[in-house]
Structure 1
Amino acid sequence: MHSSIFRKYDINCNIFQEEIYTLGQAFAYYFTRYSDSVKTVIIGRDNCKNSAFIEQELSRALTDTGLNVIILGACTNPIIHFSLNILPVQASLMITSSSTQLNNSNIIKIYLNKELVWGKEIELISNIFYNQKIYKSFIKGSEKHHSMVERYIDWLAHKFNYLQDFNQKININCSSDIPQNIVSDLFQKIKLNTIKIASETDQDNLQSIDYNVDLNLSLKNSCKRLIVHADNSIIDSDKLIAIYSKDIINKNPNTTIIYDTECSLFLDELITNLKANYKRVNNSTIDITDEMKSLNSPFAADSTGQFYFQDNYFGYSDALYSALRLMDILYKNQKNLEYLLLELPHFYNIPEIKIDCNSKDIADKLIENTYRFFAAKTDITLSKNNGIQAILPYGNAKLKSLNNSIISIKCESKTLEGLEKVKNDFINIFRDHIDSKILTSNINQLNKLN
């Protein structure tokens, strides 16, 4: 087995089937030797190939080492978090699939005391696995099968039962049959009849979205990300963050809203004008949730569509809960989403432009050129945190590396004139490497350097 299966935030199960049990033994050793509190572990999974087998083997390994196991069966990632907050358990394993892997292999996420195990702790589990350390117990643990789906649905239905009077038509696209069944059962229990539920629609395939409704929602990434569609496009997460923030701040004056460095500058202005505070952090679940707990913030979000509510919830990203909170805002205000969007400060922007530099050397040179160009300007705030961000008197410029050879550019401004200036800044920086025609307002695709 190659050590690369142990990644920063999860474990890629691209291994032999007989090694799954050994991996389960490594989990058991980690839980028992490095946390005295772990007595019971919950295991959840998706419906992908091999997930049920992996669930079975992990449970066998854990119970053989004296730990008790509760098997949740097929569920979404948010149900794992819900269970960790509701049940008297101390750890969890979630088996899902990696959409970024060419072989679509299974991955395992590990949670200890409600927190994601990552980084050095994953390295520790790797060392335990390769050194074949086994925790020996003379007592076998118990195994119980206990789905939390119905309890999760009942909890949400109780919180949002008033939405039975919500009269806007909604289309919800689900990533698989698991969230699709959950959504169907939930809205039947709420007795809301204006919902149409469909299997997943590729978020880029906008032609297949039903626009004859008031609200188009997609639940993505094992129900962690919420994507909202309108007018043949995807609504920027920034705008949804703004709508949620206005509602949260109204209930929690002078609070702090947390979002990542990729989000639009108009959020800073909006939240400041609402007499609240904001904090930008790196775009990672760990950084966002850690800062959220540190500041006791009621709400945090990222630019990919993950929304974290501590206001009346448990502080993890749950696309279905986020959808219900959006419906709640529309219901309370008796307005549709289009109207709420019109109330937001208006910023012009160029959609993200991705540029394939063909080599890491060229990409690094362009990044360095960008930093030097903006550093030479006056009256500017320049940051190298998670890429380069330049806050200029006339707009905002962002550049970051996506991988070895691909970089991305974003431009925004309050005015069209300012947007043109930011765009021209990038044209001047890349003059010797890129055709200026790709820096137009309608391009959102990979482009090759000359």
Structure 2
Amino acid sequence: MIDESIFKAYDIRGLYPDALNEDVARDIGRAYVYHLGLGGSRVVVGRDMRLSGDALKEAFVRGVTEAGADVLDLGLVSTDALYFAVGHLEEHGGAMITASHNPKDYNGLKLCREQAIALSGEEGINQIRDLIVEDRLPGPAEYAGSVEEGDVAKEYAEHCRGFISTDGLRPLKIVVDAGNGMAGKMLPPIFEGLPFEYVPMYFELDGSFPNHPPNPIEPENMEELQRRVVEEGADFGAAFDGDADRCFIVDEGGNTIGGDILATLVAKSVLEKEPGAAIVYSAVCSKALPELVRREGGRPIRTKAGHSIIKPQMRSNDAAFGGEHSGHFYFRDNYFADSGIIAMLTAAELVARQDGPLSKLISPIDTYVRSGEINSEVEDQEATLRAVEESYGEREGAEVDHLDGLTVDLGAWWFNLRPSNTEPLLRLNVEAKDAETLERERDALLEMIRG
């Protein structure tokens, strides 16, 4: 009996081997081909460095070929490079074996179709689940697919470098924490030919994650990078998650820059190169982002978080860039797919074009203070959300929307409260114009949520 909980809103993910094992991966491979009608086509497959990755990849490939599709096996690769390969090679689909930032005992699959269009719960993942659960998988195809090995590291490096102009850039020193993840393999060829020196931290691929979990959104996983940046006298630092599609940076003083503020910086660069461009951003992002986009003559488009929501929004609006507070950055010229590496290079280009440090770039665009994301375990998510809305939505001047959970804007401060898709949690983000307001309102909200 398959554990249906592995089929998530944006990907497939679970504990190995209890929830996700070789038999399940093989069935997913077959169902993926049948659902998308990929028999006779070629699918690009890659994996990250997780200890169970090779076994799950081989099982998934077996399912794909049994269903009659060919496979281009990229081996060890980052998720953003897998998406690039699907778009660049004009293949019909792709699969990445990864559990992203999750602990070492997890693994999963990120699936896409042509042009690196991601499958989501409603668009593909649930249908694949149903084929397996309802035992509706057809038998093996008449002709099994073939497997060919490939390598896109060189082409992907050139592609990433193409997002910045290196003319006139001053040299920089950047400390990079790969977290024993795929950035350790993908970044060295990208830095070749750039005027940037990088100081590597944990570039050895190791799915046991001996140094820290591959999750840079957790502050404790950034502490060593913060220290190293200051010790090395570096211009800034960058940390990546396990499959290297997310990136967080710290400034020259070791201060962590939020994902939404890095997105604001990238938006500034994009609008300098493409005036008037549309920029998509998730509802939890700082007000600093849409304010900058408007100042620079761009068109900000606010949307719900999640790559399967942001990517279609970008396509329909021909948006040049999209950003999330969670460290995902999407580029139209990267097949609308996310890449933490391209975001890091864009930040480096901006710093290298000015005399001052990264903090000097950020201070005029980031005029707010934020709580960061605070999780609270609650018994009844809906009842708590209703109670908070009744209390705060009736205040004078309150603007309420439900684009992504509950957002209440009270002018001098605002908050977003939204339920987790997978846990009995409510996630709170508060932003204000000053620290005193932030602390007072954050504490009052948390007392109500947890009371």
Same fold (TM over 0.5): yes
Counterpart in 1 of 2:26? 21
Counterpart in 2 of 1:276? 298
User: Matches of 2:250 and 2:323 in 1, distance apart?
Assistant: 18
1:320-377 deviation line (CA, Å, top 9, x unaligned): 1111111122223344211101222512344444444xx414x655433321122222
User: Matches of 1:27 and 1:198 in 2, distance apart?
Assistant: 37
Structure 2 residue 224 is matched with structure 1 residue 208? yes
Could you say what secondary structure the match of 1:360 adopts?
A: coil
Structure 2 residue 432 is matched with structure 1 residue 413? yes
Structure 1 residue 138 displacement after superposition: 2.9
Could you say what secondary structure the match of 1:333 adopts?
A: coil
User: Matches of 1:342 and 1:55 in 2, distance apart?
Assistant: 45
User: Which amino acid is the alignment partner of residue 243 of structure 2?
Assistant: S
Counterpart in 1 of 2:258? 236
Could you say what secondary structure the match of 2:418 adopts?
A: strand
Structure 1 residue 404 displacement after superposition: 5.8
Structure 1 residue 106 displacement after superposition: 2.1
User: Matches of 1:426 and 1:44 in 2, distance apart?
Assistant: 42
CA spacing shift, 1:6–1:266, aligned 2, 3 Å: closer
Instruction: Quote the RMSD (CA, aligned, Å).
Output: 2.9
User: Which amino acid is the alignment partner of residue 63 of structure 2?
Assistant: A
Counterpart in 2 of 1:151? 155
CA contact (8 A) 1:369 1:429 kept: no
5+ residue gaps, structure 2: 204-210
CA contact (8 A) 1:164 1:190 kept: no
Task: Tell me which moved more, 374-383 or 130-139.
Answer: 130-139
Could you say what secondary structure the match of 1:97 adopts?
A: coil
5+ residue gaps, structure 1: 435-448
User: Matches of 2:443 and 2:181 in 1, distance apart?
Assistant: 46
Counterpart in 1 of 2:405? 387
User: Matches of 2:157 and 2:32 in 1, distance apart?
Assistant: 30
Structure 2 residue 334 is matched with structure 1 residue 313? yes
User: Which amino acid is the alignment partner of residue 22 of structure 2?
Assistant: Q
CA spacing shift, 1:82–1:409, aligned 2, 3 Å: closer
Structure 1 residue 392 displacement after superposition: 1.5
Match of 1:70 among 69, 72, 87: 72
Matches within 5 A, 1:339-350: 339-350=360-371
User: Matches of 1:401 and 1:68 in 2, distance apart?
Assistant: 40
Match of 1:31 among 21, 29, 36: 36
Aligned length in residues: 423
CA spacing shift, 1:408–1:96, aligned 2, 3 Å: closer
Counterpart in 2 of 1:444? none
Counterpart in 2 of 1:129? 132
Task: Tell me which moved more, 20-29 or 260-269.
Answer: 20-29
User: Matches of 1:269 and 1:55 in 2, distance apart?
Assistant: 44
Task: Tell me which moved more, 219-228 or 330-339.
Answer: 330-339
Match of 1:185 among 189, 210, 213: 189
CA contact (8 A) 2:77 2:186 kept: no
Matches within 5 A, 1:261-300: 261-300=283-322
Could you say what secondary structure the match of 1:271 adopts?
A: helix
Between the aligned residues of both structures, percent identity stands at 17
Could you say what secondary structure the match of 2:403 adopts?
A: coil
Task: Tell me which moved more, 375-384 or 69-78.
Answer: 375-384
Counterpart in 1 of 2:349? 328
Q: Which one has a bigger Cα radius of gyration?
A: 1
Counterpart in 2 of 1:396? 414
Counterpart in 2 of 1:371? 389
User: Matches of 1:72 and 1:164 in 2, distance apart?
Assistant: 35
Task: Tell me which moved more, 115-124 or 15-24.
Answer: 15-24
Could you say what secondary structure the match of 2:284 adopts?
A: coil
User: Matches of 2:49 and 2:258 in 1, distance apart?
Assistant: 30
Return the TM-score normalized by structure 2. 0.84
CA contact (8 A) 1:170 1:213 kept: yes
CA contact (8 A) 2:174 2:196 kept: no
Greater relative contact order (Cα 8 A, min sep 6): structure 1 or 2? 2
Counterpart in 2 of 1:46? 48
Match of 1:176 among 161, 176, 180: 180
User: Matches of 1:216 and 1:365 in 2, distance apart?
Assistant: 42
User: Matches of 1:295 and 1:41 in 2, distance apart?
Assistant: 28
CA spacing shift, 1:252–1:178, aligned 2, 3 Å: closer
CA contact (8 A) 1:25 1:135 kept: no
1:48-70 deviation line (CA, Å, top 9, x unaligned): 22321222233233223332211
CA contact (8 A) 2:182 2:242 kept: no
Could you say what secondary structure the match of 1:411 adopts?
A: strand
Task: Tell me which moved more, 80-89 or 293-302.
Answer: 80-89
CA spacing shift, 1:27–1:267, aligned 2, 3 Å: closer
CA contact (8 A) 2:181 2:242 kept: no
Could you say what secondary structure the match of 1:141 adopts?
A: coil
User: Matches of 1:2 and 1:292 in 2, distance apart?
Assistant: 33
User: Matches of 1:319 and 1:22 in 2, distance apart?
Assistant: 31
Return the TM-score normalized by structure 1. 0.84
CA spacing shift, 1:190–1:158, aligned 2, 3 Å: farther
CA contact (8 A) 2:277 2:319 kept: yes
